C-alpha cells in the first residue's frame, strides 16, 4: 500500500465491536456510583453511591433506553448498543468536565458558580456530540436529529431543575401540588444543596449555548464534507455513519458506502486441485486476483477464510498480485468469487505428472515455479528486500509473459513475505513501469520457458496444517499455518516405482509450499522459517494477506507479535508431517472470470487522500470551532451576569 493508504489503514485499530447495551448501562451506573462516592458527602458511603447513580447515571440510562426509540420514530436507525455506547461516552464527558471544574473551584476563588457554569457547558457539549453522531448514523437533518440528541441533556437539566430548588424562583401561585412534584431541594444531596438554587436563567443560557454548539456542528460538517462531495461524490457522513454502525453493531453500512464509490471489474480466479488418483480431493489452491481488504471483515477482509471453507481438501488461498484498488466493496461479492472458483474447479482435467520446481532470480525478484499438468504455479518474492502489494496490471503482465512459452494456465502468487510495515515512505508497492515490475515480468517469462520444456515425472503430494494457538491479535488468522509438499520423481520412474519409492528409499525432488494466514511478514522471518525446514529441496513461504488481523492495528505482520523461532519450529514440524503424508496424486488447474465490484482504479488512493486530508484538516477545524463556541459561551455567560 502507499503511504496515504497506510494512514487510512491505521483507522483499522478502531474497528472493534461495541459492548452490548446492558454492559454499557452497567458500566455507566458503576462509574456514576464511583463519582457519587467521590463527589457527595452524606453520612453513608452507599448513600453517596446511590446519589451518584441518580444524578449522573440516571440520565445516561434514560438516554440509552429512549434515544433509539425516539430516533426510530423519526425514521432513524440508531441501535440500542450504539445508543448505550454514545450515552456512556457522554457520561465520561460530563464527569471529566465536572471533575476539572471542581478541582479549579477548590484551588482558585472561582467558587461553586464556576462548577454550575461548567455543568451547563458540559451538558451543551453532550448535546453537540450526540447531534453529530445521530446526524451521521441516522442521516437526519440537523433540526430533526436535535430531538433524539437532546434526550440526555434534557433529562439531566430536568433533574437539576427539580432537585436544585429552582422551582422556588417560580412560585407564582403554585400550591402544595406543584411543590410536591416540582420542588425537591430538601431531598437533594448536601453537595447539590450547596449550589444554593440554580438560577432559572442558567437553563436559558443552556438552551442558548446548545444552539451555539449546534451551529458549530453544522459548520464543521459543512466544511469537512466539501472535499468528499467534490472528489468522491459522497458525503463524509456516509463514511462516519457506516464506521460507527460497524463498530457498534457489526453492520454492513460501511460496505454500502464503499459500494457507492466502487467500480465493476473482471478478475481471473485460478484453481489448482490435488486429488488422490480418481478419488477424493487432497488440497485445493484458489487464487482470485483480488486484495483481501480493506480491513477487518469488511468487504473482502476475510476472503481467505471464506474461500477455505468451500474446499473439500485442505485449502490454500495465497495472496494474488492485486492491491487495495481491488478490494471487494461488500462481503456479498465473495459469493461471486466462490461461484467462479467452483465453476473453474468443475472444469479441471487431472494429470498424474508434474515438473520439478525451478527458481529464477531476476533483479530483486525471486520466482519459484513448478509445472502441473498443462499449467504452472509461480510464487514471486522480493525478499530480503521490502515489498508490499503488486499491482493488478503488473501481475497480469507477468502471468501473460509466463504463458508465452506454451503454458495453458498460470497461477501467479505474490508471496507477500517481507515488509517493514508503515515505517518507510516507500512501502514497496510494485507499480507498472517500476524496475521491480520488469524484474518480475522478465523473471516470470524465464520461469515459463524453463517449465514449458521441462520433463514431467510422477507426482506425490503430502499436506499438513495447524490452526495454532495464535490469534488475530498475534498476527495469525483462523487458517493458521498450512503446508503442501510436492514430490516429483524422475520422468523415467514408473507409476509402480513411484508407489514403492518411499519404502525403497528412492526420492525425487521435494518442494514445500508454506502458507501462513497473516498479513505480510517482518523482515527476516521468511529466512528464519526456510532455514528451519528439513527434508525438502526447495521451499517458499507465503501469506494470505488476510485483513482480519488488522482490527488490532494497521500492520500486525507475522513476526511482529509472533515469535519467529516458534513459527519456524512449527513449520518445520508441519513439513515433516507433510513428507510423511506423501502419496500418489493427480493435479489440474483451471481459471474462470468473476464480475465483481471493487474499489476501482485510483479510488483507494482518492479515498485515502480525501480521508487523510479530512482528518488533517478536521482536527484544527474542530479545535477552532470548539474555541469559538467556548468564546461565544463565555460571552453569553458574561451578558447574562450583567
Q: Is the pLDDT higher at 544 or at 641?
A: 544
DSSP labels, 231-284: HTSS-HHHHHHHHHHHHHH--SHHHHHHHHH-EEEEEEEEEEEEESTTS-EEEE
Q: Is the pLDDT of residue 467 over 90?
A: yes
Q: Is the pLDDT of residue 456 over 80?
A: yes
- CA 246 to centroid of chain Cα atoms: 10
Q: Please report the sign of the dihedral spanned by the C-alpha atoms of residue 372, residue 450, residue 538, residue 467.
A: negative
pLDDT of res. 247: 61
Average pLDDT over residues 310-339: 92
pLDDT of res. 501: 45
Contacts of 23 (CB under 8 A, 6+ apart): 84
What does the alpha-carbon distance between residue 93 and residue 124 come to, in Å, rounded to a whole number?
11
pLDDT tens-place string over residues 227-254: 777 777 777 777 777 776 666 566 667 7
The one-character DSSP state at 422 is: T
Percentage of the chain lying above the pLDDT 70 cut: 78
Where does the pLDDT of residue 17 fall: very low under 50, low under 70, confident under 90, or very high at 90 and above? low
Name 320's bridge partners: 413
- CA 219 to centroid of chain Cα atoms: 29
The one-character DSSP state at 285 is: E
Unique residue bearing C-alpha cell 485460478: 270
Where does the pLDDT of residue 447 fall: very low under 50, low under 70, confident under 90, or very high at 90 and above? very high
Q: Is the pLDDT of residue 352 over 90?
A: yes
Name 597's bridge partners: 264
What does the alpha-carbon distance between residue 343 and residue 340 come to, in Å, rounded to a whole number?
5
Percentage of the chain lying above the pLDDT 90 cut: 44
Q: Is the pLDDT of residue 496 over 80?
A: no
Q: Is the pLDDT higher at 224 or at 579?
A: 579
Unique residue bearing C-alpha cell 499438468: 373
What is the model's pTM?
0.75
Helix 200-231 to helix 142-149 angle (10° resolution) is: 130
Helix (H) / strand (E) element for 367: namely: strand 365-372
Q: Is the pLDDT of residue 329 over 60?
A: yes
Q: Is the pLDDT higher at 101 or at 168?
A: 101
pLDDT tens-place string over residues 533-556: 999 999 999 999 998 887 656 578
Helix 200-231 to helix 603-641 angle (10° resolution) is: 160
What does the alpha-carbon distance between residue 507 and residue 225 come to, in Å, rounded to a whole number?
66
Q: Is the pLDDT of residue 524 over 70?
A: yes
Name 274's bridge partners: 283, 587
Average pLDDT score over the chain: 82
Ramachandran class of 412: left when φ > 0, alpha when ψ lies in -120 to 50, beta otherwise: beta
What does the alpha-carbon distance between residue 68 and residue 449 come to, in Å, rounded to a whole number?
65
DSSP labels, 538-595: EEEEEE---SGGGGT-S---BTTSS-HHHHHHHHHHHHHHHHHT-EE-EEEEEEEEEE
pLDDT of res. 199: 67
* Highest-pLDDT range among 45-54, 110-119, 474-483, 624-633: 474-483
Cα 502 to Cα 487, 489, 582, distances in angstroms: 11, 11, 9
Q: Which residue in 312, 246, 243, 234 sits closest to 273, CA to CA? A: 312
Contacts of 101 (CB under 8 A, 6+ apart): 114, 115, 117, 118, 119
* Highest-pLDDT range among 24-38, 98-112, 188-202: 98-112
Where does the pLDDT of residue 44 fall: very low under 50, low under 70, confident under 90, or very high at 90 and above? low
Residue 199 phi/psi, 5-degree rounding, is -60, 130
Dihedral angle of Cα 349, 350, 355, 361, to the nearest 10 degrees: 50
Burial category of 281 from C-beta neighbours within 10 Å (exposed 0-12, middle 13-18, buried 19 and up):
middle
What does the alpha-carbon distance between residue 215 and residue 142 come to, in Å, rounded to a whole number?
9
What does the alpha-carbon distance between residue 275 and residue 54 come to, in Å, rounded to a whole number?
68
CB 591, CB 504: distance < 8 Å = no
Average pLDDT over residues 178-195: 45
Grid coordinates representing 614 are 479530512
Where does the pLDDT of residue 500 fall: very low under 50, low under 70, confident under 90, or very high at 90 and above? very low
Q: Which residue in 59, 412, 125, 89 sits closest to 244, CA to CA? A: 89
pLDDT of res. 159: 78
Where does the pLDDT of residue 114 fall: very low under 50, low under 70, confident under 90, or very high at 90 and above? confident
What does the alpha-carbon distance between residue 14 and residue 8 come to, in Å, rounded to a whole number?
11
CB 261, CB 292: distance < 8 Å = no
Residue 352 phi/psi, 5-degree rounding, is -95, 15
Q: Is the pLDDT of residue 179 over 50?
A: no
Where does the pLDDT of residue 322 fall: very low under 50, low under 70, confident under 90, or very high at 90 and above? very high
Helix (H) / strand (E) element for 28: namely: helix 21-39
Domain coordinates of the chain in residue numbers? 20-252+605-641, 263-599
Q: Which residue in 30, 186, 216 sits closest to 121, CA to CA? A: 216
pLDDT tens-place string over residues 401-424: 999 999 999 999 999 999 986 555
Cα 146 to Cα 85, 261, 484, 500, distances in angstroms: 18, 29, 60, 79
Where does the pLDDT of residue 46 fall: very low under 50, low under 70, confident under 90, or very high at 90 and above? low
Q: Is the pLDDT higher at 479 or at 183?
A: 479
Q: CA-based angle 284:477:340, to the nearest 5?
A: 35
pLDDT of res. 52: 64
Amino acid at each position: 500500500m502507499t503511504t496515504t493508504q497506510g494512514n487510512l489503514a491505521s483507522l483499522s485499530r478502531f474497528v472493534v465491536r461495541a459492548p452490548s447495551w446492558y454492559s454499557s448501562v452497567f458500566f455507566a451506573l458503576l462509574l456514576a456510583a464511583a463519582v457519587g462516592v467521590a463527589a457527595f458527602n452524606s453520612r453513608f458511603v452507599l448513600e453517596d453511591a446511590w446519589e451518584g447513580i441518580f444524578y449522573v447515571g440516571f440520565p445516561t440510562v434514560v438516554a440509552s433506553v429512549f434515544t433509539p426509540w425516539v430516533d426510530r420514530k423519526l425514521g432513524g436507525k440508531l441501535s440500542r448498543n450504539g445508543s448505550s455506547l454514545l450515552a456512556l461516552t457522554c457520561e465520561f464527558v460530563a464527569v471529566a468536565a465536572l471533575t476539572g471544574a471542581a478541582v479549579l473551584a477548590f484551588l482558585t476563588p472561582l467558587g461553586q458558580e464556576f462548577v454550575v457554569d461548567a455543568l451547563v457547558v458540559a451538558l451543551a457539549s453532550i448535546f453537540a456530540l450526540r447531534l453529530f453522531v445521530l446526524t451521521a448514523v441516522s442521516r437526519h437533518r440537523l433540526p430533526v436529529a436535535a430531538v433524539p440528541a437532546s434526550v440526555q441533556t434534557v433529562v439531566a437539566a430536568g433533574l437539576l431543575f427539580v432537585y436544585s430548588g429552582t422551582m422556588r424562583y417560580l412560585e407564582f401561585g403554585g400550591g402544595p401540588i406543584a411543590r410536591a412534584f416540582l420542588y425537591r431541594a430538601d431531598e437533594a444531596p448536601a453537595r447539590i444543596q450547596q449550589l444554593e438554587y440554580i438560577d432559572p436563567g442558567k437553563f436559558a443560557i443552556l438552551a442558548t449555548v446548545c444552539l451555539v454548539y449546534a451551529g458549530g456542528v453544522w459548520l464543521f460538517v459543512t466544511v469537512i464534507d466539501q472535499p468528499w462531495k467534490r472528489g468522491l461524490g459522497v458525503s463524509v457522513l456516509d463514511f462516519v455513519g457506516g464506521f460507527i454502525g460497524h463498530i457498534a453493531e457489526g453492520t454492513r453500512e460501511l460496505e454500502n458506502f464503499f459500494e457507492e464509490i466502487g467500480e465493476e471489474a473482471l478478475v481471473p480466479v485460478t484453481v489448482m486441485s490435488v486429488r488422490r488418483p480418481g478419488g477424493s480431493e487432497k488440497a485445493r489452491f484458489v487464487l482470485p486476483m483480488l486484495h483481501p481488504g480493506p480491513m477487518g471483515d469488511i468487504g473482502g477482509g476475510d476472503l481467505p477464510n471464506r474461500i477455505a471453507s468451500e474446499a473439500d481438501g485442505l485449502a490454500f488461498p495465497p495472496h494474488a498480485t492485486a492491491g487495495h484498488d481491488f478490494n471487494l466493496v461488500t462481503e456479498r461479492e465473495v459469493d461471486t468469487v466462490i461461484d467462479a472458483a467452483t465453476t473453474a474447479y468443475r472444469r479441471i482435467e487431472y494429470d498424474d505428472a508434474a515438473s520439478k520446481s525451478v527458481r529464477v532470480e531476476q533483479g530483486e525478484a525471486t520466482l519459484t515455479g513448478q509445472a502441473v499438468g498443462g499449467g504452472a504455479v509461480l510464487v514471486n518474492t522480493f525478499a530480503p528486500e521490502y515489498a508490499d502489494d503488486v499491482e493488478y496490471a503488473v501481475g497480469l503482465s507477468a502471468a501473460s509473459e509466463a504463458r508465452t512459452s506454451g503454458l495453458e494456465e498460470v497461477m501467479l502468487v505474490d508471496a507477500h513475505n517481507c515488509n517493514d510495515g508503515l515505517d518507510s515512505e516507500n512501502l514497496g508497492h510494485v507499480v507498472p513501469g517500476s524496475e521491480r515490475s520488469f524484474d518480475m515480468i522478465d523473471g516470470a517469462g524465464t520461469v515459463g520457458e524453463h517449465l514449458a520444456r521441462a520433463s514431467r515425472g510422477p507426482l506425490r503430494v503430502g499436506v499438513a496444517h495447524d490452526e495454532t494457538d495464535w490469534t488475530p491479535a498475534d498476527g495469525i488468522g483462523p487458517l493458521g499455518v498450512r503446508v503442501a509438499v510436492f514430490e516429483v520423481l524422475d520422468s523415467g520412474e514408473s507409476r509402480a516405482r513411484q508407489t514403492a519409492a518411499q519404502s525403497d528409499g528412492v526420492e525425487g525432488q521435494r518442494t514445500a509450499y508454506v502458507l501462513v494466514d497473516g498479513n505480510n511478514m517482518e523482515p527476516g522471518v521468511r529466512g528464519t522459517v526456510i532455514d528451519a525446514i528439513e527434508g525438502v529441496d526447495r521451499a517458499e513461504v507465503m501469506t494470505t494477506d488476510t485483513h482480519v488481523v488488522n482490527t488490532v492495528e494497521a500492520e500486525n505482520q507475522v513476526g511482529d507479535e509472533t515469535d519467529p523461532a516458534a513459527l519456524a519450529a512449527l513449520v518445520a514440524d508441519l513439513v515433516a508431517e507433510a513428507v510423511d503424508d506423501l502419496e500418489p496424486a493427480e493435479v489440474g488447474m483451471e481459471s474462470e472470470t468473476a464480475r465483481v465490484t471493487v474499489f476501482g482504479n485510483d479510488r483507494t488512493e482518492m479515498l485515502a487522500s480525501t480521508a487523510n486530508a479530512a482528518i488533517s484538516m478536521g482536527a484544527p477545524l474542530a479545535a477552532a470551532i470548539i474555541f469559538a463556541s467556548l468564546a461565544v459561551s463565555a460571552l453569553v455567560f458574561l451578558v447574562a451576569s450583567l
